[in-house]
Amino acid sequence: MPDYKEVTHERLWLREPGTDRLRKRAQGRLKHLLALGWRETERWPGERYVTVRLERSGVSPWIGKPIRRRQADEPPRREGRRGPGQGFGGPGQGGPRRGR
């Protein structure tokens, strides 16, 4: 069985330019990715953000692909409530009456 390796690069913004302190959202994002099985392999410091390379192995390439729905999976169509060509604005009273 082949071993799959998935790689992503995340840009984590800093609280203050030129420091190592990440913003709260960036800390949470990194913590979440590490909990999902990603591991940090490289880090490139920048002035306002840090770019982090994350890898995980053993992940099938099918994970994250959109699910293709079949006709059998769709709920049955509800027809016969209105006649053909009748929408929501059919014949009726209309707007406010004028001239009374």
Q: Is residue 73 part of a domain?
A: no
Q: Is residue 94 part of a domain?
A: no
* Residue range 25-66, pLDDT digits in tens: 999 999 999 998 899 999 999 999 999 999 988 766 666 666
Q: What is the pLDDT at residue 49?
A: 96
Q: Is residue 52 part of a domain?
A: yes
What's the structural domain count of the chain?
1
Domain ranges, residue 28: 5-57
Is there a contact between 43 and 53 (Cβ–Cβ < 8 Å)? yes
What does the alpha-carbon distance between residue 20 and residue 17 come to, in Å, rounded to a whole number? 9
Q: Is residue 43 part of a domain?
A: yes
Q: How many other CB atoms sit within 10 Å of the CB of residue 68? A: 6
Q: What is the pLDDT at residue 75?
A: 73
- Model confidence at 16, pLDDT cuts 50, 70, 90, reads very high
